[in-house]
Amino acid sequence: MKNWLKIAVIAILFVSCDDVGIEGYTPYSPTLQPLNIPQIFVANILPPVIPINNPQTVEGVSLGRKLFYDTILSGDNTQSCAACHSPENAFTDSDRFSVGIDGLLGNRNSMPLFNLAWNYNEKFFWDGRSFAIEGQALEPVKNPIEMHNTWNNAVISLQNHNEYPDLFFEAFGTRTIDSTLVTKAIAQFERTLISANSRFDKHLLGQITLTASELNGFNVFMDESKGDCFHCHGNANNPLWTDNDFHNNGLDATFLDIGLGQFTGNPADNGKFKSPSLRNLEFTAPYMHDGRFTTIDDVINHYSEGLVNSPTIDPLMKSVNSGGVQLSDSDKADLKAFLLSLSDSEFITNPDFQNPN
Amino acid sequence: MLVLIISLLGCDDKDSETITFGDAITINFNHYWDGEKVSSADFNVETYTNANNDILTISKLRYLVSNITLHKSDGSSTKLIDYYLVDLSTLGNTSFSISDIIDADSYSSISFTFGFNEADNIDGNYLDLNSASWNWPAMLGGGYHFMQFEGKYGATGTENPFAYHNGTARVSTGVFEQNFFDVSLGGFSTTENTTVEIKMNVDQWFENPYTWDLDTYNTTLMPNYDAQKLMQQNGASVFSLGTIN
């Protein structure tokens, strides 16, 4: 469907089908704010996933941003989403395991948040257990090792707040707050977190020239007889730099955390985790679902000579019997240079994404 | 699409009536190993023995078919779809239906290209295929994969991976050779609602004419010219027409 048509349809739906209508004296008139889709995505990949019942609006995004940075959602008013998803870390944190409000540690590394609307199968978390961005946002608030609140309590706090009821009215046409509206607003904000302005993006757009080392690193990434990374981590025509799918990339012989298998119940899925995007690695250390690697060099060494066999290891970890793809020192250095060319420093400093409170 | 928009505009809760022209045809891709059905439920658990007597399990099977076309004996033809990515692991991605372009009639054959022909195999051209990371590296001629067929072979505990990936063949640096093949399957008659089964006989990838030796060709086959050409040859006997109803 043409973009203008999509917007028109959403607009009409929004205006005429809302059953809440006008309340009080202020008319409810949210302003549509369609995502600003980068050229590199428009030209290469399918449009983002935006639920028809949660269109992007100025008021919704702004409310979502405020909520994302507000400790009010946590049980003791000390922790916001941003505590573990901070802009300077491309919306993850620098801890191996994040600390919840009760000082409890989880067993998974926090995940960076960007380009989430392009996760077409909408499976979120390392193990894909949450469906849709809205659905995911229900989890941290009630997770005992994270914000450890109840939705009932969080909604009461928001309802008694001197600003939030009006902000919900502006965004959704009602002052009656519930968890669905909270997650809708947060999801709208999260969808605006788009990263597509790295050196490599600019190279693809013909705006800059990469160094010889970065270019050779890209070849190592794309060469099935060298790095062979592209089968799971995107390519120049899939600039998400992830397949958003689940694989066992040879970290362990036995699993403390069975990942996808826990969610699907299928033993063939044990040890599988979501392939992370390789964008913004410069800001997102440590790496892997359990944050076991502190540097990009550690990661490259893992694929080069540190692979460990297990029954569910992906066939694409083809050199597991010799420990890995055995890259030369110079190929390793170039691969690292290429990976770093996927970092987007404008993303982490974008004023629209910072704490508004 | 128009129907959808109208129903949105009217805020209609009821299902809108879909107006169709012509009759419906469903193309259903089913997969067999020596006559036994293969589905994603068999992945990683079911073992198969190939012509070379290697024991293997399958963990992924996806492939691209293009220009699926129905032909009549008078020489006329109707293209059903430009291309279709079959993926056994994704629900709903082994069949498609078309409901407005053909009439109940008798057809002399159904044809398609395995992969893309050279004219269609344009690097980066298809957003849905890019989004599925289906691209074939530019250093190997670019365009798209034709197939990703993966699994493990050998005795339990000492398995080795195989990644039977098919696409354009690289002769030497910068020199490439097309590697698709055309498939044409026998005729049938359609009614107002017909399902045509196209069978992929997966065992044939390893069998005919070349008895595939996984110890020789297992992984890193994409840049391997000989392996690519053997895949193309073996592909010729892989498809057959199944039931029509």
Domain ranges of chain A: 23-194, 199-341
- Report the chain B residue with the minimal C-alpha distance to residue A310: B157
pTM of the model: 0.92
Whether B8 is covered by a domain: the verdict is no
Average pLDDT rounded to a whole number, residues A51-72: 98
Contact A224 B222 (CB under 8 A): yes
Contact A45 B44 (CB under 8 A): no
Mean predicted lDDT score pLDDT of chain B: 91
Encode pLDDT of A173-214 as tens digits.
999 999 999 999 999 999 999 999 999 999 999 999 999 999
Task: Classify each residue of A309-318 as buried b or exposed e, where b means 16 or more C-beta atoms within 10 Å of its C-beta.
Answer: ebbbbbbbbb
Where in the sequence is the domain holding B87, given as residue range(s)? Answer: 24-244
Encode pLDDT of B110-131 as tens digits.
999 999 999 999 999 999 999 9
**Chain pair A-B, CB pairs under 8 angstroms:** 92
Contacts of B214 in chain A (CB under 8 A): none
Whether B1 is covered by a domain: the verdict is no
Q: Give the residue from A163, A152, A192, A149 showing the smallest Cα distance to A57.
A: A192
B131 touches chain A (CB under 8 A): yes
B122 touches chain A (CB under 8 A): no
Whether B36 is covered by a domain: the verdict is yes
- Residues with Cβ within 8 Å of A119's Cβ and at least 6 positions away in sequence, in order, are A49, A244
Q: Give the residue from B208, B202, B215 showing the smallest Cα distance to B230.
A: B208
A21 touches chain B (CB under 8 A): no
B32 touches chain A (CB under 8 A): no
A212 touches chain B (CB under 8 A): no
In chain A, pLDDT over 70 holds for what percent of residues? 93
Contact A45 B161 (CB under 8 A): no
Contact A315 B9 (CB under 8 A): no
Question: Does this complex have an ipTM over 0.85?
Answer: yes
Whether B42 is covered by a domain: the verdict is yes
B124's torsion region: left (phi>0), alpha (psi -120 to 50) or beta?
left
Encode pLDDT of A40-52 as tens digits.
999 999 999 999 9
What's the pLDDT at B103? 85
Class of the CATH-defined domain A23-194:
mainly alpha
What's the pLDDT at A25? 60
Whether B180 is covered by a domain: the verdict is yes
A5 touches chain B (CB under 8 A): yes
pLDDT at A319 over 80: yes
Contacts of A237 in chain B (CB under 8 A): 123-124, 130, 135
CATH code for residues A199-341: 1.10.760.10
Q: Give the residue from A198, A301, A303, A184 showing the smallest Cα distance to A240.
A: A198
Encode pLDDT of B176-196 as tens digits.
999 999 999 999 999 999 999
What's the pLDDT at B158? 84
B91 touches chain A (CB under 8 A): no
What's the pLDDT at B102? 87
- Scan for tokens 């004419």, then name that residue: B209
In chain B, pLDDT over 70 holds for what percent of residues? 91
Whether B3 is covered by a domain: the verdict is no
Q: How is residue B52 written in tokens?
A: 């070379």
More confident residue, B23 or A80: A80
- Other beta carbons within 10 Å of A49: 15
Whether B229 is covered by a domain: the verdict is yes
Element (H, E) at A336: helix A329-340
In chain B, pLDDT over 90 holds for what percent of residues? 85
Please give the tally of structural domains in chain B.
1
- Residues with Cβ within 8 Å of B132's Cβ and at least 6 positions away in sequence, in order, are A243, B85, B87
Whether B11 is covered by a domain: the verdict is no
B45 → closest Cβ in A46, A120, A268: A268
Encode pLDDT of A216-236 as tens digits.
999 999 999 999 999 999 999
Element (H, E) at A332: helix A329-340
